[in-house]
Amino acid sequence: MTLKPVLDIKDLSISIEIDAKYYTAVEGVSLSIGKGEIFGLVGESGCGKSLTALSIAGLLSAQLQISNGTIAFEGQQIEKLKTRGMRRLRGDRISMIFQEPMTALNPLMTVGDQIGEMFVLHRGMSMKDARKKAIEALDQVQVPSPGRRIHNYPHQLSGGMRQRIMIAIALSCNPALLIADEPTTALDVTIQAEIVELILELCKARGTAVLMISHDLGLVARMCRRVAVMYAGQIVEEQFGSDIFTGPCHPYTKGLVGSLPRLGGRLEKGQVRLNEISGTVPSIFEFQDGCRFHPRCPDAMDKCRHEAPMQTKIGPRGYVRCYNYG
Amino acid sequence: MKKVSLNLIVGSILFIIVVVTAIFAPLIATHDPILDANLMYAEEPPSKAFLLGTDEQGRDIFSRIVYGARISLMIGLVVQMMNTVIGVSLGLSAGYMGGWWDEIVMGMTGLILSIPTVVFALALMSVLGPGIGSLLIALGMTDWAYSCRISRAQVLSLKSQNYIQASYTLGFGNLHIMFKELLPNMIGPIIVIATMGIGSAIMAEAALSFLGLGVVPPAPSWGAMLAKAREQLLFSPWLSVFPGLAIFITVLGFNLLGDGLRDFLDPHGKAKKI
């Protein structure tokens, strides 16, 4: 029923070593993204969504390691690849866009050279041909007068323009998967929508799958076909993007959706402020037994305190980690 | 606008004076520095004919100092170039790769720093024998610790920059990241250290030549001139004062230039004075 997945993560756990002790930062994450699919990963800061992304690109730093699970990309087991093989994938088949366009470009190189380098590196082109391709790539990300822009240095461009250039670099080699790690967080609100539209449009045209990482639930729900919500290193719920607002299942997702301000919405009688989820996220040093969310959960049962819930299917492709279902 | 400091101006002027003197030595000198020996005029005080007096063989000190600028500058530049190449490649690779290589390089740097340059060079020179060639090798191999440390520190701070991280994710190799991304972005501090290093290399050359291990007579080296003049310090002070002044001005020039460049290249504009 679904296409063969481009990316298939099964039961991924990542542990971090601090003072010779291992702590689990990401636990039991499974997700699969089909060809050309837009997949959203939401969660608050430190919940492990960026770590998951880095592990896909094989970029975990030395004190982090994959302790369990597999990552299959186009049929290849990524966690088993050597440095050289991984490097060939990166930028060519898997690309990334970061949240800080202001600092993600080398300040001492013209943007034309920085885009062109990709073609030289991954396609073995000459610098001259690469420059032509760079102009084309700039044109595709809707930068006006690309022929002149390639001679600009990053400091001469605005934040939105730089993010467009990052997109041009990331998509230059038609990757199968684009990891967009909060691509719009650092941008002006008016530019955000434009940039996201641009990413999606270009990826659609190329059949590139997108893993969109964000803490903006609204953005992700609107743009992505499927959305996974992460909390404290686990995916607590996965649903179709269109359902996440109308039918959130996990108490955490419900809390998130409930805490969003609604335009034109009125406060209920007696309510003086927006809803919130009480308590704070546990740090990885103090994960308790049972469900990770139970200390903050309004519907917590006795069982939740002792035994961690497994994934329960909801709908055709979704699942939730909660005892209130199934 | 960037404010050009007094250091930079004075340093540049002194630097230009020394460089121009070295380049146009044959035009500036009034006598031949080696061949115009005449014992009739030995140890003459400064006069119209001999601007800065003559040495014990009757050679014009002014001309010898002018030609000496060539030797000092050449040695300073070559030595510092060797030091910079060694220091930067070690520091860059150590900072980039980290791990055991970093430990080894930092260990060697600590070793080099713990032994005074001149003493180290002296030991090397006693093995290699006197002469310009062995002087270049001895000094060029022993004073790279500062450029090594500076470039390592630069790499460590640049490594966390987003564009360096980004080039990993784009699939670029280690050599590309080291030489095309990191090196151009850390060139400022390296230039500053190298400029100051030229000054200390000239000092070291003078010191070694003073001890009779550097430039072989009769070539006009400021250090060697000082060594000869030492015995006549009381009776013919011009023999030692003027070569000493030449060393002083040159080294001061390079140090001021380095200081000024550091303030000028520093993006924050107010670096602490060392």
Q: Output the six-digit token pair for B200.
A: 């200390």
Secondary structure percentages of chain B, helix, strand, coil, to 5? 70, 0, 25
Shortest distance between the Cα of A171 and any Cα of chain B, in A, equals 10
Tell me if residue A234 falls in helix, strand or coil: strand
Structure confidence by residue, pLDDT tens digits, A278-325? 777 877 777 777 888 888 888 888 888 888 888 888 877 788 888 877
Residues from chain A that touch B163, judged by Cβ atoms under 8 A, are 103-107
Contacts B185 to A, Cβ<8 Å: 106-108
Residues of chain B whose C-beta is under 8 A from some C-beta in A?
Answer: 161-163, 165-173, 176, 180-181, 184-185
- DSSP SS3 for B273: coil
For residue A219, give both structure tokens: 């953005």
At B13 the pLDDT is: 92
C-alpha dihedral (A37, A43, A45, A48), degrees to nearest 10:
-70
> How far is it, in rounded angstroms, from Cα A76 to Cα A56?
12
Chain A residue numbers with beta carbons less than 8 Å from the beta carbon of B161 are 103
pLDDT at A296: 84
Which of B162, B167, B171 lies at the smallest CB-CB distance from A122? B171
Residue type (1 letter), A169: I
Q: Strand A234-240 to strand A226-231: parallel, antiparallel, or no bridges (unpaired)? A: antiparallel
pLDDT (tens digit per residue) in A217-247: 888 888 888 899 988 888 888 888 888 888 8
In whole angstroms, give the CA distance from residue B258 to residue B12.
9
Between A166 and B270, where is the model more confident? A166
Chains A–B, number of C-beta pairs less than 8 Å apart: 55
* B161, B171, B176 ranked by CB distance to A103: nearest: B161
Residues 6+ apart with CB under 8 A from A322: A236, A237, A249, A250, A251, A291, A309, A312
Query: Looking at chain B, which residue has its C-alpha nearest residue A98?
Result: B166
* Mean pLDDT, residues A109-133 taken together: 89
pLDDT tens-digit map of A169-178? 988 888 999 9
**How does pLDDT run across A1-35, given as a tens digit for each residue?**
455 788 999 889 998 888 888 888 888 888 889 88
Q: A157 near A111, Cβ under 8 Å?
A: yes
Closest CB to A91 among B161, B163, B170: B170
Q: Is the pLDDT of residue A72 over 70?
A: yes
What is the structure's pLDDT at B87?
Answer: 93
The DSSP element (H or E) to which A211 belongs, if any, is strand A209-214
| 8 A C-beta contact, residue A117 and residue A130 | yes
The residue ranges of chain B whose pLDDT is under 50 are 1, 269, 271-274
What is the per-residue pLDDT for B86? 94
Record the pTM.
0.76
| % of residues, chain A, pLDDT over 70 | 95
Average pLDDT of chain A? Answer: 84
- Whether A121 sits inside 8 A of B171 (CB atoms) is yes
Say yes or no to pLDDT of A145 above 70. yes
What is the predicted pLDDT for the residue at A266?
Answer: 63
